[in-house]
């Protein structure tokens, strides 16, 4: 007897409040935990219109609530990146990312994470001065902010 593939007899059941669990795979259902699942948002509005990316700048502000993780299991970051890509945003402002921007390794790691969206990334970030103290240099901090600009718009940034 041939062993069936796991994908033939299982399906992903994401927990989303107010959305019934899927009992069998259906069209449009996520196939893995990292795939964004937005079908439950359909009753709340129409899809965003396509925009001319060179004339209009779509900006996303999102309270990341401590999930802006540059290291470790980045499942939250992969969903964050997928949502940015699906919305066609060219600028992202993660609110309260809690990253110590005085540590320059965090700058390069952040740019590396966002290279999935574009090879051209501009990062403007700031941290509280507590990040200058040796005890806090390699830790996350409350009191940081970032503006990440991608693609064509990264070349148009001026301070």
Taking the chain (159 residues) in consecutive chunks of 10 residues, what is each chunk's mean pLDDT?
A: 72 55 54 58 67 82 77 69 85 86 88 89 87 77 84 76
Verdict on whether the full-model pTM lies above 0.75: no
Q: What is residue 58's predicted lDDT score, i.e. its pLDDT? A: 86
Q: What is residue 158's predicted lDDT score, i.e. its pLDDT? A: 64
Q: What is residue 149's predicted lDDT score, i.e. its pLDDT? A: 92
Q: What is residue 14's predicted lDDT score, i.e. its pLDDT? A: 54
Region label for 119, one of left (φ > 0), alpha (ψ between -120 and 50) or beta (otherwise): alpha
Angle (deg, nearest 10), helices 75-87 and 104-114: 50
Q: Which residues of 100-136 are buried (b: 16+ CB within 10 A; e: fewer)?
A: bbbbeebeeebeebbeebbeebbbebebeeebeeeeb
Q: What is residue 123's predicted lDDT score, i.e. its pLDDT? A: 92
Q: What is residue 24's predicted lDDT score, i.e. its pLDDT? A: 52
């Amino acid at each position: 007897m041939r062993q069936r593939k796991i994908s033939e007899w299982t399906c992903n059941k994401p927990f989303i409040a107010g959305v019934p669990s899927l009992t069998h795979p259906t069209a449009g259902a996520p196939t893995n935990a990292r795939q964004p699942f937005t079908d439950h948002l359909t009753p709340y509005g129409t899809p965003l219109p396509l925009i001319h990316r060179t004339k209009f700048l779509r900006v996303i502000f999102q309270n990341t609530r401590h999930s802006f993780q540059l290291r470790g299991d980045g499942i939250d970051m992969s969903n964050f990146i997928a949502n940015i890509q699906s919305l066609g945003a060219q600028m992202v402002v993660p609110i309260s990312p809690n990253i110590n921007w005085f540590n320059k390794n965090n700058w390069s790691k952040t740019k590396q994470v966002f290279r999935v969206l574009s090879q051209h990334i501009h990062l403007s970030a700031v941290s509280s001065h507590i990040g200058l103290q040796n005890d806090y240099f390699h830790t996350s901090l409350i009191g940081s902010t970032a503006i990440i600009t991608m693609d064509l718009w990264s070349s148009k940034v001026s301070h």
